[in-house]
Chains A and B, each alone.
Chain A
Amino acid sequence: MTTLISAQYKPTVWMKVQKNYFKNWRSALLSMMCFAVLGGIVWSIVDWGILNATFSSTARHTECYANGGACWSIIANRWRVILFGLYPYDEQWRSITACFIVVATIAFSCFPVFWTVRRLSLIWLVGAASFFVIMKGGVFGLSLVSEEQWGGLALTLFIFVGTVLIGMPLAIMLALLRNSKLPVISKVTGVIIDTVRSLPLISILFTFALVLPFMLPDMLVGEKLYRVIAASALFFAAYQAEIIRGGMQGVPKGQEEAAQALGLGYYQRITRIILPQAFKNALPAMINQFVTTFMETSLVTIVGFFELLASANAAYGTGEWNFAFVEVYFFVAAIYFAFVFALSRYGAFLERRMAN
């Protein structure tokens, strides 16, 4: 008898479905409608993307038209343009190697074992140097490929990593200056942050890429790519600084007082007590800013760089393939998704790790 009752109280999957989606006739109706719409969407994607699709790399557009579905042949034919942009055809193995170097460097620095200033700097020094040698060449018998010819995924990653590497320390510095006890410093920093935040990223990119060369002496102008990265880093830092400052405000005043009472100096209090807790408070918003920045790298096409999205546009931009832009965007979206999803999973890992 008792076993019967307890067996009844153990909810089966079907009972949960019933309880959550078919509680009464209204919820049942709504559920059925949602399932129908979802099912329809999934079916049409499967129908278009797989069942009626053309996969053959030798197929031409006529064959795709005949099949009626997606024309994945364009990816097979044009993936090099998407991934490498204007990078010279014979040297493209260097571009893909460079991508792996960036991803490996990021992956290494994600492991808590490497979270000391010395180890992180070493990893990034080696990573950046080897990326640069591989991409630009001009040494070790590698032919020179100037920055204007860089493109596709490697360029997107380079701009993103450059932005974060310059922007993150800058953001921390701005957040600390903004919190300074000296009113002049905190006010001036506040004006700088608010100015950058009130300008659209595009206008900052334009200014750095096209206007700055007229205003600076020649020796300070540098390559356009690096000016663009500087602009992007400045924009990133202004937002991230406010996020970090918000996190710092969530740290109780007693924390700093306890550290002071123990005799810790300013730098020690900031690095050991305040920032670790501020990062923990601000982590979801910080990860969000990383994700946004990764996708905003596509804005550099406006000043003439062929990063991932611009290269994708070029990939279907020939007379033969220009009907197949949806397939190209699917492919590019999948690449963006892979990176952003990894980033958000890593954020979730950090949140779990910090929760104690």
Chain B
Amino acid sequence: MYASTNAVEIRNLQKFYGQYHALRNINLSVKKGEKVVVCGPSGSGKSTMIRCINRLEEHNDGSINVLGTELSDDISNIDEIRREVGMVFQHFNLFPHMTVLENCTLAPMLVRKMPLAEAEALAMKFLEKVRIPHQADKFPGQLSGGQQQRVAIARALCMQPEVLLFDEPTSALDPEMIAEVLDVMTSLASEGMTMICVTHEMGFARKVADRVIFMDAGEVVEEGDPESFFTNPQNERTAAFLSQILSD
């Protein structure tokens, strides 16, 4: 059963797109405060897997337990999990018709029923944390990609989630903006946030991750601590992937 130290518990997860077997028998436990980096070639199912955790994708078989709540068709269970699990997307997905501040206050006010003043104070606190408080009254379209992604992180933090999911947060960014986003993520990690990151930033994985997971063709091929994962990969697919991605 659910152990109180586990934030996310995935068992025998199966996912199909029609005939295509996207996720094959995934098992994964993430402890509270643990930072897990998921990597693998494109199409390996890593995004699909973390999108299953907050039900952006429906799984076909197996079980997902988040913070003691079993993910099922029950809409109240889904809502409960989404309140506690934040997500940062590859393309930021900020709401373009709202200011940065409104992006951040929306969910706390609507979902947590927080009064406006309190929500704004909270939003400013997290905008300061991602070092962007002076842009609060701008619209997302007026910001650079790196700034938008930092706002998106602040927006997710404003719900004060227990777990943060990152779905390739730096893949859509220009190279000079990647560092500013990774810095924010690193400082979050050091404060004890539970994080599951799909990313190709191996430097970040090495520095921050407690565990690295390698996926290929819809299954978890290898997992281990960053040190042994990078220096001594056990599976040949992992070794091939690492030699490709680290060659340049």
Q: Which residues of A contact B (CB under 8 A)?
A: 252, 254-255, 257-265, 268, 272-273, 276-277, 280, 354, 356
Contact = CB atoms under 8 A, between A and B. Distances in A.
Contacts of A268: 110-111
Contacts of A264: 106-107, 110-111
Contacts of A273: 95
Interface stretch (B15-23, B82-90, B186-194, B239-247): B82-90
Given A254-B91, A257-B56, A262 B97 contact: no
- For the side of the interface on B, what is the size category? 20 to 34
Given A257-B56, A260-B56, A276 B86 contact: no
A277 B79 CA distance: 24
Interface string B160-177: 000000000000000000
B56 A262 contact: no
Contact of B82 (A262, A272, A277, A280): A262
B234 interface: no
28 contacts: A252-B91, A252-B93, A257-B93, A258-B87, A258-B89, A258-B93, A258-B94, A260-B54, A261-B56, A261-B82, A261-B85, A261-B86, A261-B156, A262-B86, A262-B106, A262-B107, A262-B155, A262-B156, A263-B79, A263-B82, A263-B107, A264-B107, A264-B110, A264-B111, A268-B111, A272-B106, A273-B95, A356-B96
Interface of B: 54-56, 79, 82-83, 85-87, 89, 91, 93-97, 106-107, 110-111, 139, 141-142, 155-156, 159
B121 to A, nearest CB: 19
Contacts, number: 62
Nearest to A354: B97
Contacts of B89: 254, 257-258, 261
Contacts of A252: 91, 93
Contact of B111 (A255, A262, A354): A262
B160 to A, nearest CB: 12
Contacts of A265: 79
A263 B162 CA distance: 14
Q: Which of A255, A263, A280: most chain B Cβ within 10 A? A: A263
A273 B103 CA distance: 10
Contacts of B94: 258
